[in-house]
Structure 1
Amino acid sequence: MDLETKKINTANALVSAKLLAKDLENKTNQIASKIAKTIKLDGFRKGKVPLNIIKSRYQANIEQDAQKQAVEEILQSAIKELDIQTHDVIGDPAITKFDKKDDFIDLEIKISLKPDFKLDNIASCIPDVKLQAIQPKQIEDRLDEIAKTKAPLIEAKPDKILAENDIANINFEGFVGGEAFEGGKAENFDLTIGSGQFIPGFETALIGMKSGEEKEINVSFPESYQAENLAGKPAVFKVKLNKIQIKDNPKIDEAFAKSLLPQEENPSVELLKEKIKEQLHLEAKTKLYNEELKEKLIENLDKAIDFDLPELIVEQEMDLLFRNSLNTLDQKELEELKSDTKKAQEKRESFREDAKKSVKITFIVDALAKQENINVEDNEVLQTIYYESIMNRQDPKEAIDYYKQNNMLPAIKMAMIEDKILSHLLDKKLAGNKSDESSKEPTETKKAPKKPKAKAEE
């Protein structure tokens, strides 16, 4: 076997080899001999089937196994010659040439190698993190919102006029063309005014009514209404307002705080306000990170760190982006790509830069995660899928099975690690900013109480 290896760059290598026909024939005989020892064919005793019959009957499988063994031996020899470790090879090597000659097979194999790069200037890539201090009014407003949500409903006084956010208990019946329609009648129905639960115009027309009042409301069903027999048609609703319910005046006291802080040993309104302040801070931080700083950090890492990328991995990412893009095309565009190979290739090629960036950031994030000792356990991935499925009203088991069957769990895990490491880096920057600010304070300034550290993954 003639073997030649060449490192194209730090992340790619090319192996050229001539696989001699006699070597391949030896492997074929070895594989056939192993089969002959265990196989049983009619007319022959076990282990006594002639090799020529074995080779004739199982020719395709034997040749395939022989070639596979030969290629594996070539790769192992190439790895030694390239002076690299097996774990430095990433992905599956690609056979880019397989020319059968009379006495040999001319082979070329591309190998992707784990890129080598340094993380010396990461600190300079992290954008500045500036969060506005949570103001007392924000805390009071959130406290009022919570109190109103928790407050019980009470029946309003008889002279109360129905307004936005009130709950109207109504009897109603709808008519189209003078005829009552199916599903258009109910009694003692509770409707929150402003919820948009009914067709446009219905809830607005109720505003200003008093308990016991009756009214006819003229509205039209939307053109896109799900019931085709009603879509776009004018309707009349006969409505009676039975009663109006409103939220009782919320009482914010120690009992209220205790109901919201059952795990606390000494719950109080002040402690509740501290918890609300922490939550508002976390919400503001999460919003800033997700809407602005994470993307900026990724861009900075992409610009600041340069290294060779494994071509085979980039090509795989291009395939993935190309396939995903097909889901966004209409039928006509899909047919055009199917019938025009050149156009399909151009479409795939348009994702090269995005693929290179994605692969590059994945390697950087992976290296950072190892450096910062950050990981995501498999059960965290499954929990995330589970809760997102619940939120989206999907069957969690079906969702998890889908991701498993399509081998998508590693990609989800990597996305979670990326999110975690980006948040971690930004949190370190934020903590540094706080430290700098505190060092500038006059010595007589009273030190603020230490706040609980927010979890980066939240």
Structure 2
Amino acid sequence: MKATWEKIEKNLGVLEVEVGADRVTDALDKAFNKVVKKASVPGFRKGKVPRPIFEARYGVEALYQDAIDILLPEVYTEAVNETDIFPVDRPEVEIDQFEKGQAFKFKAKVTVKPEVTLGDYKGVEVTTEKVEVSEEEVNEELNRLQERHAELAVIDEGAAQNGDIAVIDFDGYVDGAPFEGGKAERYSLELGSGTFIPGFEEQVVGLATGDFKDVEVTFPETYHAEELANKQAIFKVKVHEIKRKQLPELDDEFAKDVSEFETLNEYKEDLKKELLARKEQEAKGKKEAAVVDKVSENAEIEIPQAMIDGEIQNMMRDFDNRLRGQGMNLEMFLSFSGQTTADLQDQMKDDAEKRVRNNLVLEQIAKEENIEVTEEDINKEVETMAEAYKRSADEIRNILAANGSLASLRDEISLRKTVELLVENSKEVEGSEEAAEEKAAE
């Protein structure tokens, strides 16, 4: 095989490839074995048509597209490896020659990973703030725990309030006709959560058990179902029951129930330590992010749109997985929020570009600094994962190897070690971000 690579723009180039006639013959053989299973020729059973008879009836050209589909991916991968390029998008392929007994020639226009010109990345200044925990923060955490351990009690009398769970039937109509997704029975709706169409929950507040009401709302202009966007709707609502949170008393008994401590004061002291550790971890993460952002700003790089689009798709998948973990999915979220997929992707665009940029810069610094990931590093990470998932290290390694994730793990460790190097070589400036900005402005 012969492969050559020539840049035509900053992140775009042409890959020219030529492979010998023997590879073409092999691909045609594989294509025939695939096609003959469905070929229908009088006098022969399917799958039993001799090659000469098939080619005489249909022509060898009938095998060309299948042969190309078989040969092109493997040859393209070999050419990419041979020329040491890193494609970030599907190539635009132009077939120059494919015939029986001839070499296979094609050109591929390929968008590749961009070059990064690093600026200063050692000694960047970042602001740090003193980490401490106030009494107010401890009490706020206690209140959250109190909410978490609250019990739902059915309210027999009185009207629904924000924060209550209203168990309702609803039946929606637009222009007098029902619409898909507009009906449900005994649906548990937390009032004030903002999960329904704007204006819906507010009109349920004040209703009592057994009440009926026609709730009138207008779908948002950007609603994901275009046929409903900006339309007025009437939902016939029936309230089956109202549930309200009953908060436990914050006392020694509460501390005993939710912790290993005998008194509330002991529990508060432990909470303070936990909050401090959490804030220190958050401060560490903020510092790392600030260092990476500043180093990234100092670099010059032109990011292909394909890489940003790819990162947006990764973020969409992650978001959908998080929703599923909460008992929802992306389609339900879009329905409740009145957004479209395009709206959500547009919101993610800036963050996606920043992630791609930062990763490319960190990869380049890792090369410049000759950062290596050893087998010991891999083993330590695998052991950490094994402990977290309560499985053996061998099991985790086999799973990673089976789904091709070991290379990704190696890259992740490399990026982490690069961030550690940058933080170690950064300079701390005590104060807040606002103070640092004011000082810079002076």
TM-score between both structures, scaled by the size of structure 2: 0.46
Higher CA-based Rg: 1
Q: Which has the higher contact order (CA 8 A, sep 6+)?
A: 2
TM-score between both structures, scaled by the size of structure 1: 0.44
